Structure 1
Amino acid sequence: MKSYNVAVVGATGMVGQKMLQVLAELKFPVKNLFPMASKRSAGKEILYNGKTYVVEELRDEAFDQDIDIALFSAGGDTSQRFSPVAAAKGVIVIDNSSAFRMDPTVPLVVPEVNPEDLDWHKNIIANPNCSTIQAMVALKPLYDAFGIKRIIFSTYQAVSGSGMKGYAALEGGIKGEKDTFNPHPIAYNCLPQIDTFTDNGYTKEEMKMVNETQKILHDDSLRITATAVRVPVYYAHSESINVEFKKEFTLDEIKSLYSKSPGIVLQDDPEKSIYPLAINAENRDEVFVGRIRRDYSVDNGINLWVVADNIRKGAATNAVQIAFALVERHLI
């Protein structure tokens, strides 16, 4: 297999470090690695596949090097500034921020769901929001089989979703330290606010799920509402998803679909208390689905419980899987 020169932008951050780990674990064919970060982190040493690399400063000139793919996880402002620079120099950017997700010229991709959208990329590809990614893996087989009229998302999101500072806030709060990161203490608490509020009363996180779902499924007719909650869990987002279908279905059909769907692990034996748990999804790449049951308040409704590691499948793994899909589709 051909190997590729890969840059990881934000290599010293939580997701950047996980990207390096996943690249190695999934054996993406890396020829040369170019770890990059801000001036503050430049010069630090990182370990990748048993070899030590020195982190270089992220600058325009950094992309004058022979780089095929750049995995970006350094925040929206950094992506807005440097992704077009890299793309103009022939680098394929896979960006983990929200900077380009709703740009109509940029594909927003979950490889199990819409890999064909990679075919029209213009050197920038957007990684969806972590909570959207796992929901799309769970919903796409159902969307194709039964059609979907309406979705209600209720998310229970881990503190690692807000980065190292969010993780530290929970860790410190458990020790009795004051939480200076969140609007209220996260330890022993649930915060119904992720990101800032918009004019319609929803948070940006909630609107990301609405807008990104419609874009990924190419269906603006979908009626979607969402409530996103931060919970005192370190890793893995949990989601209660209520779906109203256009067609009739049986639970056996749903479970049969999931047993054959890539990237999904079905855990649904409630009599034995078997269902997806955040603690079991940590450091896994799959999306776990369970608590499958009819919603008797509508004609063709269903409830699902969906769990995935937000730093792996919700960020790093999805980005690396996009890179694999580019190779498989002969787009690089």
Structure 2
Amino acid sequence: MWRGHDRPEPGTFPSRAAGQTQSKFKVGFILARSFTLSAFSLFVDTLRLAGDELDRSRRLRADWEVLANTRHLIRSSCGVSVAPTSDLVAPERFDVIVVVGGLLGTDQSCDAEALAYLKQAAKARVPLIGLCTGTFMLAEAGLMGAHHNCVSWLHVDEFRDRFPHLRVRADRLFNFDGRRGSCAGGSSAADLAAFLVRSRIGPAAAQNALDVLQINHARHFTDAQARLPIRQLTGDGTIDNRVNAVLLTMEQNLVAPKTIEQLAASVSVSRRQLERLFRTILGMSPARAYSELRLRRAHYLLINTDRRIVDIAIDVGFDNASHFSRAFRKIHGRSPTALRIDGETVPSV
């Protein structure tokens, strides 16, 4: 286990204590009801392939267990079930415990005994990772208060609603700060697993796993999630990663828009550099892109909900309905009221 008290920088994994002997990298998994099979399988297969040469699958350098207080099968969101392989044994046996989330609408996705076990692991200073919506479970257990919570863009609004006191971001694939990690899920589970393998076993083991999985290279934790919020403006979606990260941040902050200076700082560039990037790549300023994002969202809400226009205006960051109506007409050529009267269907945004 890691016993140091220095908190690593975001994107780093706690190293072994000085003088600690080399041993297998041991991972425990807690699977939620209706867990996401793809995220779990990509993560565990990266461990399997990193644990031996090529795909011989011997657990020489890595080992893992699926932990539960029962031997009943755990059903995934796609209907395939996984059998637990271990009781909720002492968490200190593991180098990290990964909580694999699933469908958010499922009642009691994690039972009280599992939540108590996660609290026990945190008290023992075992690193904990929320995979996919597993971060919701760690937050529910009160274990993510001092950390940045990385979730999928699909779930960022619901996370904010459930845990308004916690910091959340959906502008990157995964995050690891101190003894907590969080991951957007999907294919980024392999990126996170490769990151851990590289930190704990070595680069060669990580590359072997990626090669067998037919993944050219592991993406960096700061790489933007695949969601391109204004794909309509970028044609085929090819875009500078910094611009995409800023667009994602804009999309997640429509009610209380961030300043251009704050957006520039989030990707470590100056305001002038960000302005230049946006004009070169999108042909518009960051302010114009922000406005279009807000008004595209308003367009969707006007067509697909029966909410009052003034409420929609507030939801996309306008102080009053008249200001919103003028801006909307400028972009869409008609007022919000006229759009509702005429009717129109648009894809989800």
**Greater strand content:** 1
Q: TM-score, normalised by structure 1?
A: 0.34
**Greater helix content:** 2
Q: TM-score, normalised by structure 2?
A: 0.32
Q: Which has the larger radius of gyration?
A: 2
- Larger relative contact order, structure 1 or 2 (CA cutoff 8 Å, min sep 6): 1
